[in-house]
Structure 1
């Protein structure tokens, strides 16, 4: 009795320690959002530099991996877990402004390129790398407008340089953007005379600066007019990138008063030229899916009502007629499937994913995870995944007990380890490839250790706590008894072949989300901001309804064909949409992306494989629970001897 009495105490201790670890890790990774900051005339504005990014290589690099001008001392900014995993490396820079005091033709530094420096600049220009800077938590953007566009759009970051011809030369040359014309927009408070920064824009120029005499601290440039509104123009000769070439880095800064308020300063950054297409596509998808859902629901309700009425009428009239259809397999429909413990693991992991995604989308839709909070979305998803281990253990234990399993601890350990182990193995290989490229996207050892702490220190104990609670609950009783000897399944029609029906079942769920998937992939791989989380929440609800309905319909047809092996098929039916997601990712890779490096291609397909696998568990679990609820409902509605 003494041994038994210690078990609740041990569980309470495990819960307390887990919660303490969760709070500690969450606090260490959380960085509060930037509050409105008031600046007065003459206050110093310090520009920070972030990673160099490219949509061709998908490999970020530190800003100072290129021989740019450096401050006296490089200071790394504190970053949360999400920023580190994204490859952000935020550091100080030599660009310092004075609030509302324009500066023209400021010299940052002077250098002469050696062979190595010239080669590095050329490689980054070939790979179309962009420089990212930050001022008061606002990213640097370059406004542009094409002939087809009505309003101005913004490019995030500025190119390192460009390739082209100059002065009629046939040979293509590399030119570096060494002069930056900054525009800082501010909103002025009339009462306090304070100002808040609401815009940070730039126009880059490639300028071959010239000066008189030897270079020293008092050197003046003859190619830069400090008294003009813009000290340089496109008429200047561009600066070539070649060995032993002298390069002078300069900048202008102009301040413009704006009517945009601080709370709305991100609106222009989040504007996309194809927003109207996005809205139309979402509404169109919503209407089609709702129409199909209504038809499916009506057909299913009418058919089931007729079946149940027929079966119950036969029982009341005591007619000795042979049972047909789905009622005939009532003695086998709740027979535990093959590999039932693995099914429990997958269902529990799917519940964990469902809880994580649902809570994340809700918080994002409420504005807590806006793009202004860099890394906040990824940090929130990781911490929610860890916390949702409690529900994963509970769901897997409940199902395992229904299957009359006896080794619940082993099953719980599989739930806590199988998917994270697969994820960690793929992530480790991809991280090794990134490390080999010397990219800032490689996760440091300290962060890897923190992820392991999150996994084994918090997630695994929470899975065991949830599993313990679930195993103490009464087992779920099926509405009908299971025969000792399984009946033989008759030969099925070609369209009820498991492979065919499973592949057909994944089409509709994928069709409900593929339009939104395009924008999600663009935000990830084309470095665009994704912010319409309200529509994403609607699409997620559509996905739930679609997965549930298509699985229930195909499960009903399967039972009517006297095939009672529905457990795994219900999971795979809606889960097969992950196959179409991966195929669409491959289509997107070859049609929208311009990735040329093999390592970058491996990274893309590796990460999309992880995403597709997670999507498989999410949609499979939704379909499984819908079918589980459906079978219990119909077999509890008819009279069985």
Structure 2
């Protein structure tokens, strides 16, 4: 993407889990100092000349990303910068990312984030969010000499068509890019930063506001109880059928008098012929059993460490790293189970 780049900054190194998840952290050109307010500060200005093939390709790629609702994911002090907005049921939803822009269709229907403002109304037009209002929440520690800690970072994306990119004022009409635009297109990126003290949020609970705002993180007790009742009901039906069948077979066994009748196999006695028959592909079954044991133990141990708090979301990639390391270490038990079963 052709966004503003941080000059002279090296990319931070990623661990194994981040590499496997595809996380790539890039340094940001947005700079601010703690407790120092910034208003409409310019970052950079990108110019695209549609008569040049290279610039036209970059601009088309930017339009395609807005059409597909690509999003920025920013990190401040290892905390995700969230975009919070109101939803239909009156709740407030916080998304750990914000869109690059949005698109108004040819029939005037807003897509994705274009519904947040009535200023986005031009048909067949892209609107890019080239300005962000960042709000940093911090908590002063008990000993003020030790400083403060960041407990939340939120932003609100906005779109401004800066008439003077060198001296922006962050006002006016939004930055629109027509789908049939020609000539020169200039996009000036700006930002504002404010700081607010939040004494109620502690360092240990600074992730709670993200989890509480996501609807899928709440425990669906009704669905759990509904599934549990269905499982118990079906299990009871199967158990009753098996008990009735087994009871009939036992009663029939007790009624047999002669030895010849006792040697005749019927009912549940026929099962042993299938149970004690060796499988046709024992090696394949043994391998599957060993791999399943490996995955099962890895899953339970990873969940156990996560419940104890060792795999914190603040430590990015720790979950996948732990799972991969456990998978490698559990190769020996998996081989033992497979060999023992095959023997």
- Does TM, normalized by the shorter one, top 0.5? yes
Mapping 1:32-111, distance limit 5 Å: 66-111=1-46
CA distance in 2, matches of 1:328, 1:286: 34
Q: 1:171 to 1:384 in 2, by over 3 A?
A: same
Whole-Å separation in 2 of the counterparts to 1:81 and 1:168: 42
Aligned: 1:279 with 2:221: yes
1:501-512 to 2 correspondences below 5 Å: none
* Structure 1 partner of 2:284: 342
Structure 2 contact 294–334 (Cα < 8 Å) conserved:
yes
1:196-247 per-residue CA deviation (whole Å, 9 max, x = no partner) reads: 1111111011111123xxx7xxx433x34xxxxxxx4xxx211134552222
CA gap 1:124/1:277 in 2 versus in 1, 3 angstroms: same
2:77 to 136, 147, 150: 136
Equivalent residue in structure 1 for 2:210, among 269, 276, 279: 269
Superposed displacement of residue 72, structure 1: 1.7
The one of 306, 309, 320 aligned to 1:378: 320
CA distance in 1, matches of 2:120, 2:281: 72
Q: In 2, distance between residues paired with 1:283 and 1:101?
A: 51
Partner of 1:188: 140
User: In structure 2, the residue corresponding to 1:391 is in which secondary structure?
Assistant: helix
CA contact (8 A) 1:208 1:239 kept: yes
Distance 1:308 1:97, change over 3 A: farther
Residue of structure 1 in register with 2:173 after alignment: 237
Residues 129-528 of structure 1 correspond to what in structure 2 (within 5 A)? 129-149=70-90, 151-164=91-104, 171-192=123-144, 194-211=147-164, 219-221=166-168, 223-224=169-170, 232=171, 236-241=172-177, 244-258=184-198, 259-271=200-212, 272-275=214-217, 278-294=220-236, 296-297=238-239, 300=242, 319-321=259-261, 322-328=264-270, 330=272, 333-401=275-343
1:109-124 matches, within 5 Å, as 109-113=44-48, 114-124=55-65
What's the counterpart of residue 57 of structure 1? none
Q: 1:298 to 1:240 in 2, by over 3 A?
A: same
8 Å Cα contact 1:115-1:244 kept in structure 2: no
CA RMSD of aligned residues (A): 2.9
Q: List alignment gaps of at least 5 residues for structure 1.
A: 1-65, 225-231, 402-641
TM norm structure 2: 0.81
- Distance in 2, Cα, partners of 1:96 & 1:352: 47
Secondary structure of the corresponding residue to residue 199 of structure 1: strand
In 2, the alpha carbon distance for the partners of 1:263 and 1:169 equals 43
Taking the aligned partners of 2:160 and 2:303, their CA distance within structure 1 comes to 46
Give yes or no for contact 1:179–1:207 (8 Å, CA) kept in 2.
yes
Structure with bigger strand share is 2
Displacement of 1:294 after TM fit? Answer: 4.9
Compute the TM-score of the two structures, normalised by the length of structure 1.
0.45
**Structure 1 position 367, deviation (Å):** 2.9
Task: Provide, for residues 22-74 of structure 1, a one-character-per-residue CA deviation record: whole Å limited to 9, x for no partner.
Answer: xxxxxxxxxxxxxxxxxxxxxxxxxxxxxxxxxxxxxxxxxxxx121112224
Q: Distance in 1 between the 2:59 and 2:320 partners?
A: 36
How many residues in Structure 1 have an aligned counterpart in Structure 2?
A: 316
Higher relative helix content: 1
Q: In 1, Cα distance between the equivalents of 2:5 and 2:187?
A: 14
SS of the counterpart of 1:95? coil
Give, in whole Å, the separation in 2 of the partners of 1:182 and 1:139.
Answer: 12
| Distance in 2 (alpha carbons) for counterparts of 1:393 and 1:274 | 38
2: CA distance, partners of 1:347 / 1:168 = 58
Indicate if the aligned counterparts of 2:42 and 2:189 stay in contact, CA closer than 8 A: yes
* Residues 275 and 90 (structure 1), Cα distance of their counterparts in 2 relative to 1, 3 Å cut: closer
Q: Where do 5+ consecutive residues of structure 2 fail to align?
A: 49-54, 109-117
Q: Measure how far apart 1:119 and its partner are.
A: 1.7
Shift of 1:169: 7.8
Change (3 A) 1:103 1:366: same
